[in-house]
Amino acid sequence: MMVNDDASARYLASGPGDDSRPNDRLDLMRDVLADQATWAEPPPQVVDGLLAAVGAANPNLDSPPVDPPHWPLVAAVLGSAAAVIALVLATIGVLDSVEETVVAMTGTELEAAAGGRADVRPTGSGWWIRLDVNGLPPAPEGSFYEGWVWSDEGEGVSIGTFHLRGGDAPVVLWSGVEMADYPSIWVTLENEDDGPEASGLVVMTGRMPDTDDA
């Protein structure tokens, strides 16, 4: 059996620590169980067993006669469903067990109407950063937004790019450096023809809590 990668990706992007989206977990479970790929390899004769069980429970249905239900086979498919649900719940439990930090993001004088938050969570491969913004217009054609983590010594590391031309949906960014060493989060507007260095067009900023200002 396979778990729907798109559903899993949507859950990860949704952010497990945000109580404003309480139905994300149920939506994920529904997507997984509704996906045909989840049942791509059922036990042999499971379908016959289920049809028999349905026929026995609904004798008035206009359908061909079926043999008495093969209860061991019905139990097998129910066990398969339980295994999928257990896998989903276990994954959710692992994600929920990781502490998440919320960083308030505010617009600069270049985009004073912009605001939002960054949810920051450590993982085995770096720092997962979900950026939710509002009031930030789409980047003009030929340009893009870039996320950065910035140290108090003036060193910046890029954490990803985006443009918001499809709407202000959440953006998932990644940092490979320790947030304690790079506690500030910036968003800059960059020109596609420029080099990899950060431009001076900083449109949003935020800072990890419990850190001293530079």
pLDDT computed for residue 80 by the predictor = 60
If 0-12 CB within 10 Å is exposed, 13-18 middle and 19+ buried, where does residue 140 land? exposed
Q: What is the DSSP letter of 160?
A: E
Q: What is the C-alpha separation between 131 and 206, in angstroms, rounded?
A: 11
pLDDT computed for residue 106 by the predictor = 97
Whose tokens are 């949003």? That residue is 204
Q: What is the C-alpha separation between 131 and 162, in angstroms, rounded?
A: 11
Of 166, 159, 169, 163, the C-alpha closest to 206 is: 159
pLDDT computed for residue 111 by the predictor = 96
Q: What is the C-alpha separation between 83 and 75, in angstroms, rounded?
A: 12
pLDDT computed for residue 170 by the predictor = 92
How long a stretch of residues is the chain?
A: 214
Domain span at residue 193 reads: 101-207
Mean pLDDT by 10 residues, the chain (214 residues): 51 50 56 60 55 57 54 56 58 58 97 96 95 96 97 96 90 96 97 93 95 51
189 and 106 in a common domain: yes
58 and 9 in a common domain: yes
125 and 58 in a common domain: no
pLDDT computed for residue 168 by the predictor = 78
pLDDT digits (tens, 9 = 90+) for 32-65: 566 665 555 555 555 555 555 556 555 555 555 5
Write the CA distances from 79 to 3, 55, 93, integer angstroms. Answer: 16, 20, 20
**Number of independent structural domains in the chain:** 2
Residue 42 lies in a domain: yes
Q: Which of 42, 67, 96 is the last residue of a domain?
A: 96
pLDDT computed for residue 11 by the predictor = 47
188 and 132 in a common domain: yes
115 and 203 in a common domain: yes
173 and 202 in a common domain: yes
